Amino acid sequence: MMEGKVVVVTGAGRGIGAAIARLAAEHGAKVVVNDIGVALDGAGGDATPAQEVVDAIKKSGGDAVANTDSVAGFASAGKIIQCAMDTFGRLDGVVNNAGILRDVIFHKMSEGDWDAVVNVMLKGTFNCSRHAADHFRKQESGAFVHMTSTSGLIGAMGQANYGAAKLGIVALSKCIAVDMGRFNVRSNCIAPVAWTRMTASIPPKDPAAARRIEQRKQVTAEHNAPLAVFLLSDAAKEVNAQVFSTRKNEIFLMSQSRPLRSVHRADGWTPERCAGHMLPALKSAFYSPTERTADVFSWDSI
């Protein structure tokens, strides 16, 4: 399904990114495996993970090249995209997967915790997408797949930075789809679920969460790759501006913001009328402020 195409996968040295890179290569794509090999908080750097994925792809008969530039800087992200052009002569798809964690309860979150996560994930997604957009526009084709999260779509504890970045990616994807649809460029999101070193680093918040860990370990990174590769392929030419979620053998089409209910007064509104009329009229449609991913996806995935 990817024969003759060139794709960039960021954060592809491990986990979901590595699984997508390997499967894309199995389907014929030439792959730029980007990973700077950092710890979960963004510290350090090691070229080994990216190279190991490249070696595995080549051993299986595919073609790939390692890249260790950072998505967080605009210029360095440009080098990732240019790596595809220099090595393979074209670019057909970008998977924005790179991410870090700085989980902290909101009232203790520092500016550094916020900036580090937003710069890698939200700004990093913009950086890589913006550089790729130049090539996509000229050739009048291309596909973006951005990794979002139910932490942003629904909510999570201790992840205000992560959730804000991930929901921002959804808005970015939709606006890319609107702006670049005229050039046959598609932009979609996936909220993946997998037991990776990132999810393994998050301590269970309650006994119920702890009990689900063993079940969660069966949801491997590889379960997310088929949808991503499909969205990169020409078979998905009619799929644009959508948000999906994957959980082992389940694929969900997620909702996007639309009006739920409305209330109207011909004589206009005052604060008192909001309290006496608007609140009781709309309250039954309110979302719970304490609702988190596990409350919405409350059943086992096996």
- Residues labelled catalytic: 162
Distances 102 to 78, 127, 146, 240, 290 between C-alpha atoms, Å: 25, 21, 20, 31, 21
Helix crossing, 124-139 with 160-180: angle to 10°? 10
SS3 38: coil
User: What's the rounded Cα separation, in Å, for the pair 40 and 37?
Assistant: 9
Would you give the DSSP letter of residue 254? P
pLDDT in the model for residue 292: 87
* DSSP H or E segment with residue 82: helix 74-88
- pLDDT at position 213: 64
pLDDT of residue 38: 72
Query: Which positions of the chain have pLDDT values less than 70?
Result: 39-44, 196-216, 301-302
Q: State percent of the chain over pLDDT 90.
A: 81
Give the CATH superfamily of 6-256.
Answer: NAD(P)-binding Rossmann-like Domain (3.40.50.720)
CA neighbor of 231 nearest in space, from 20, 22, 19:
20
The token pair that represents 125 in the structure block: 């997604």
> Is the separation of the CB atoms in 191 and 149 below 8 Å?
yes
Q: Which residue has the tokens 């792809």?
A: 57
pTM: 0.92
